[in-house]
Amino acid sequence: MKSLLSLLIKGKKLRHPWPTRLLHWSYAPAVLAGILSGFYITRPSRVHGFTNMDSARKTHFIAQYVLISSYLARVYYAYSAKNYREIIPDLKDIVRMPEFLKYQLFLTSKKPKFPKYNPGQKIVYTSFALLIPVQIVTGLGLYVTKRFQKPATLAGGLNPLRKLHYLASVSISALAAGHIYFALTDSLKKLKSIFTGYK
């Protein structure tokens, strides 16, 4: 079995180690379930995939705890494996942003080469990393209002906190759309690597 696996991956480059893949496929469904159930709770509609408020609330409840645990695990892994350096944009990414945008806006057919992630991906991933804690804290402030009063106090009450939570949801939805777009338009080999680990 080991030799067969070695034969299959021979000559291929490891792009995503198994912890990265495992955590990606933990928080990705949690984010999607949280967004759809949250939008249903805000404005019930069968378009979000739910038929009643009870199922939407239960889904939202489960999704929030999966998201919290997988997010914390991902932050810990990024720090311990030092791979946060691949995700956070640096000066080189800012300098090369016009080149990246020129290709993305179809102003040139020449595809620029970047390291593991292009500037757009780095901005999307870093924005996720910053917005998800906002989503978690505001969500907990709405869910456990008596024990977790600080977010509501800072926001100026439950209604402003609810608006902030909703705004974070819309922003995360936009980022998720950007992430999917970049994943589908970049490279098939890179896309496959989130499943297999290898490029």
Read out DSSP for 108-172? Answer: -S-PPP-SSS-HHHHHHHHHHHHHHHHHHHHHHHHHSTTT--HHHHHHTSHHHHHHHHHHHHHHH
pLDDT at residue 5, as a whole number: 46
Residues 88, 116 contacting (CB under 8 angstroms): no
Q: Residues 131-181: pLDDT tens digits?
A: 999 998 888 888 877 777 777 787 788 888 889 999 999 999 999 998 888
pLDDT at residue 170, as a whole number: 93
Show the domains of the chain with their CATH numbers.
13-196 (1.20.950.20)
pLDDT along the chain (199 residues), means of 10: 47 85 92 92 86 92 92 92 89 93 88 88 92 90 77 81 92 91 80 87
